[in-house]
Amino acid sequence: QKEVEQNSGPLSVPEGAIASLNCTYSDRGSQSFFWYRQYSGKSPELIMFIYSNGDKEDGRFTAQLNKASQYVSLLIRDSQPSDSATYLCAVEGAQKLVFGQGTRLTINP
Amino acid sequence: DAGVIQSPRHEVTEMGQEVTLRCKPISGHDYLFWYRQTMMRGLELLIYFNNNVPIDDSGMPEDRFSAKMPNASFSTLKIQPSEPRDSAVYFCASSFSGRAYEQYFGPGTRLTVT
């Protein structure tokens, strides 16, 4: 079983809609969770982090964490074409980050 | 403030040659990470340093790979001898101990071994 799993996509969402990205992890002891955005040919960029169960909002982005279900999600409201990228979920484990394979998101104008 | 700096940005070399990748972390950051990204394996941690000391090198694929951090502002990742399967994008990232997991990535080095 992979430590961090994401649907590789591609996920296609119309402009203005809500994009929902999901991630599950295997280490119940993990305490810190991160979402990175990676544009094609660029480096990963940290966009959200969450440490506690529940929701955390930052502008159009909301991260959701459910430790009991070992589930992290990222919601992007009012999706824009500029949100088209690969989104990497990362989970802290054994003093380091473990990344999922990423979900490729395309926002269609 | 400048971000993480990596050089070269692109490297094309022949199998068997030595390759050295360089990284300058963000000033004040005391953690430095080397990652490799491929389509097949995604983003993999190779090694990380804290205060210039290697902490975990379990991700280094084999003895052909080595990494050093002689001071707080410079690190190298060396591959000797290089092989075609080493072709990938190599990222350096840094963070500071107050938020060790919030890592900031450099632009990466795209390595092609022919």
Euclidean distance between CA atoms B108 and A10, whole angstroms: 24
CB contact under 8 A, B101 and A42: no
Residue B46: the pLDDT is 96
Which among B42, B97, B24, B31 is positioned nearest to A36, based on CA atoms?
B42
C-alpha dist (Å) from residue B42 to A52, A83, B5, B32: 27, 20, 22, 19
Min Cα distance B45 → chain A (Å) is 8
Q: Does A46 touch chain B (CB under 8 A)?
A: yes
User: In which band, very low, low, confident or very high, does the pLDDT at A1 lie, cut at 50, 70 and 90?
Assistant: low
* CB neighbourhood size of A18 (10 A): 12
- pLDDT tens track for A49-89: 999 999 999 999 999 999 999 999 999 999 999 999 999 99
CB contact under 8 A, B56 and A46: no
Nearest CA in chain A to B6: A43
Residue B98: the pLDDT is 75
CB contact under 8 A, A96 and B45: yes
- pLDDT tens track for B10-33: 999 999 999 999 999 999 999 999
CB contact under 8 A, A34 and B101: yes
User: In which band, very low, low, confident or very high, does the pLDDT at B2 lie, cut at 50, 70 and 90?
Assistant: confident
User: In which band, very low, low, confident or very high, does the pLDDT at B106 lie, cut at 50, 70 and 90?
Assistant: very high
Residue A89: the pLDDT is 96
For residues A94 and A78, the model is more confident at A78
Euclidean distance between CA atoms A103 and A91, whole angstroms: 15
Strand partners, A88: A36
- Sequence-separated (6 or more) residues with CB below 8 Å from residue B40: none
- pLDDT tens track for A31-45: 899 999 999 999 999
Please check the confidence at residue B53 and state whether its pLDDT lies above 90.
yes
